[in-house]
Amino acid sequence: VPPRFHARDLDPETGHATLTNEEAGHLTRVLRLGPGADVDVFDGHGRMFHAVVTSARPGRVELRVLAPAPAASEPAVRVTLVMSALKADKMDAVIRDATMMGAQAIQPVVSTRSEVSLLAIAKGRRVDRWTRVAVASAKQSGRAIVPSIEPPLPLDEWLSVSIGGTRVALVEPTAGTGVSFSSVPRAPAVSLIVGPEGGWTPDEMRAFDTEGVTGVSLGPRTLRAEAAPLVAMAALFEAWSAWAWGEVRSER
Ligand code: SAH
């Protein structure tokens, strides 16, 4: 498999794409490739192509776009991971794993027991960082889609703006009871809401109830917050036979 790169400006009409910043650095410095090298290039929105390097500098690589290339199939359900912000490397791991598993969007939220504030997220330019992590993970996993990292919100605000669609809160054993994914009606799109290390407060559990958010349990053991999204997506895909488009069933 040729190495894969992400080009925002990929345009099969003009047959041209440009790599900049990390992507150009990865091609020139890390892989030491230059003009004539065969690569794959994807636009982050689902299109992947074979391409050939026409010019290469550490900050800018030009590609000629050739035939469409196969990308990994996407899950049969659109998953938005609504993740209570965690500290730096833990949140990076969540973004990496959710991208690898096929999330379409990641919505960072700040809940009562989050150890990270919206201000700290803004000051640390975390959304830029998380976007870079998502691009790297899409490359590794063969996806042509890079999940969008949505602007961070307080949890209660997200609950009031995201009306409609299936919303599921992952509930730790000490916070309340939850059903399993197999008893949640199959839907084309689902938001999975995962708590911070400190878990949910009683008020948040009540808010889920009044907002019509289904509480789902992943068993009686308490999972680490950064592991919960990975387990939740695997359990969801297995319960709904939704690992890939090809597996979608017409009725549940
Ligand atoms: N401090 C809490 C645990 C929080 S775990 C306590 O002691 O009870 C962090 C988050 O991971 C939870 O809010 C939940 O969203 C998810 N999670 C952890 N274990 C889970 C489980 N067994 N089932 C469903 N979600 C779980």
Q: Is 173 in the pocket of ligand 1 (CB under 6 A)?
A: yes
Question: For residue 214, what are the CA distances in angstroms to 1, 117, 184, 217?
Answer: 42, 26, 8, 10
Tokens 């895909």 belong to 237
Radius of gyration of the chain measured on its C-alpha atoms = 20
Q: Which of 173, 213, 168 is nearest to 194 (CA)?
A: 168
For ligand 1, atom 20: residue with the closest CA: 172
Q: Taking 70 as the threshold, does the pLDDT of residue 252 lie above it?
A: no
Range in 82-96, 101-115, 163-177, 222-236 with the lowest mean pLDDT: 163-177
Q: Give pLDDT, residue 248.
A: 47
Q: How far is the CA of 196 from the centre of ligand 1 (A)?
A: 8
- Torsion angle (degrees, nearest 10) of CA 211, 213, 219, 224: -80
Tokens 């605000």 belong to 157
Nearest-atom index, ligand 1, CA of 173: 22
- What average pLDDT does the segment 116-122 reach? 97
pLDDT per position as a tens digit, 176-220: 889 999 999 999 999 999 999 999 999 999 999 999 999 999 999
Long-range own/partner contacts, residues 29-32 (CB < 8 A, 24 or more apart)? 29/58, 31/3
Neighbours of 142 (CB within 10 A): 16
Q: Is 231 in the pocket of ligand 1 (CB under 6 A)?
A: no
Neighbours of 56 (CB within 10 A): 19
Residue 135 is classified by DSSP as H
Tokens 């387990």 belong to 231
Q: How far is the CA of 77 from the centre of ligand 1 (A)?
A: 23
Q: How far is the CA of 175 from the centre of ligand 1 (A)?
A: 8
pTM (whole model) above 0.85: yes
Q: Give pLDDT, residue 247.
A: 57
Q: Is 194 in the pocket of ligand 1 (CB under 6 A)?
A: yes
Nearest-atom index, ligand 1, CA of 195: 13
Task: Tell whether the torsion through CA atoms of 130, 131, 132 and 136 is positive or negative.
Answer: positive
Q: Ligand 1 pocket check: which of 86, 170, 192, 217 to mutate, most ligand atoms within 8 Å of Cβ?
A: 170
pLDDT per position as a tens digit, 64-104: 999 999 999 999 999 999 999 999 999 999 999 999 999 99
Tokens 């999972």 belong to 223
Q: How far is the CA of 173 from the centre of ligand 1 (A)?
A: 7
Q: Give pLDDT, residue 246.
A: 66
Q: Ligand 1 pocket check: which of 179, 223, 224, 230 to mutate, most ligand atoms within 8 Å of Cβ?
A: 223
Determine the Cα–Cα distance for residues 234 and 146; give it in Å rounded to an integer. 19
> What residue type is assigned to position 190 of the chain?
V
DSSP β-bridge partners for residue 106: 81, 149
Counting DSSP H helices and E strands in the chain, the numbers are 7, 12
Q: Taking 50 as the threshold, does the pLDDT of residue 134 lie above it?
A: yes
Nearest-atom index, ligand 1, CA of 198: 1
pLDDT per position as a tens digit, 2-50: 999 999 999 889 999 999 999 999 999 999 999 999 999 999 999 999 9
Q: Is 177 in the pocket of ligand 1 (CB under 6 A)?
A: no
